[in-house]
Amino acid sequence: MMKLSLRVNGRDVTGDVEGRTLLVDFLRNDLRLTGTHVGCDTSQCGACTVHVDGKLVKSCTMFAVEADGAEVATIEGAAAPDGTLSVIQQAFQDHHGLQCGYCTPGMVMTAASLLRENPKPTEHEVRQYLEGNICRCTGYHNIVKAIMAASGQEMPAMAAE
Ligand code: FES
Ligand code: FES
Dump pLDDT digits (tens) for 95-113: 999 999 999 999 999 999 9
pTM equals: 0.95
pLDDT digit string (tens) for 44-85?
Answer: 999 999 999 999 999 999 999 999 999 999 999 999 999 999
Q: Are strands 11-17 and 2-8 parallel, antiparallel or unpaired?
A: antiparallel
Distance from residue 116's CA to the centre of ligand 1 (Å): 22
Q: At what angle do helices 104-117 and 141-150 cross, to 10 degrees?
A: 40
Distance from residue 115's CA to the centre of ligand 2 (Å): 21
% pLDDT > 90, the chain: 95
Q: How far apart are CA 161 and CA 153, in angstroms?
A: 15
Check residue 85 and report its DSSP letter. P
Mean pLDDT of 86-103: 97
Distance from residue 40's CA to the centre of ligand 1 (Å): 5
Q: Which of 75, 103, 110 to mutate to test the pocket of ligand 2 (most atoms within 8 A of CB)?
A: 103
